[in-house]
């Protein structure tokens, strides 16, 4: 798990570099930083909510003795999206800190 965390940390750094090429490299205010971070967290929450809904659908299929392949694929896709959103959250946290460090 520690190796995976280090890889995710590097992905967050890479994501921050990508975002900084597209947008300003620093936030203009703590209000702006908060708003961006809040939006990223809300997007991550939405992906987790979708995964939970697909898990419920999976359980309905299992109770009907139907293979839940379609729902499992959907959960996997949600997990990938959630991972990407979480990496963006980490990147924006770093940008927040970097923007207001003395």
Per-residue pLDDT for 47 more than 80? yes
Kindly state the tokens that stand for 11: 């992905």
Strand residue runs (E) in 5-65: none
Domain range spanning residue 25? 2-100
Report residue 68's pLDDT band, with 50, 70 and 90 as the boundaries.
Answer: confident
Distances in Å between the Cα of 95 and the Cα atoms of 40, 49, 102 are: 13, 26, 14
The overall average pLDDT reported for the chain is 96
Q: What is the pLDDT of residue 16?
A: 97
What DSSP line would sit under 15-35, residue for residue?
HHHHHHHHS-SS-SSHHHHHH
Determine the number of helices (DSSP H) and then strands (DSSP E) in the chain. Answer: 3, 0
Q: What is the pLDDT of residue 72?
A: 95
Kindly state the tokens that stand for 40: 């990223």
Smallest Cα–Cα separation from 97: which of 41, 39, 14, 13? 13
pLDDT digits (tens, 9 = 90+) for 80-96: 999 999 999 999 999 99
State how many domains the chain has.
1
Task: Classify burial at 91, counting beta carbons within 10 Å of its beta carbon; exposed 0-12, middle 13-18, buried 19 or more.
Answer: buried
Q: What is the pLDDT of residue 36?
A: 97
Q: What is the pLDDT of residue 101?
A: 86
């Amino acid at each position: 798990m520690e190796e995976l965390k280090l890889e995710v940390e590097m992905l967050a750094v890479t994501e921050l570099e990508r975002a900084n090429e597209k947008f300003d490299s620093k936030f203009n205010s703590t209000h702006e930083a908060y708003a961006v971070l809040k939006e990223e967290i809300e997007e991550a929450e939405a992906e987790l909510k979708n995964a939970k809904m697909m898990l419920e659908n999976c359980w309905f299929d299992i109770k009907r003795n139907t293979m839940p392949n379609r729902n499992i694929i959907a959960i996997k896709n949600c997990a990938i999206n959630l991972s990407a959103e979480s990496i963006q959250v980490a990147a924006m946290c770093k940008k927040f800190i970097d923007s207001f460090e003395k």
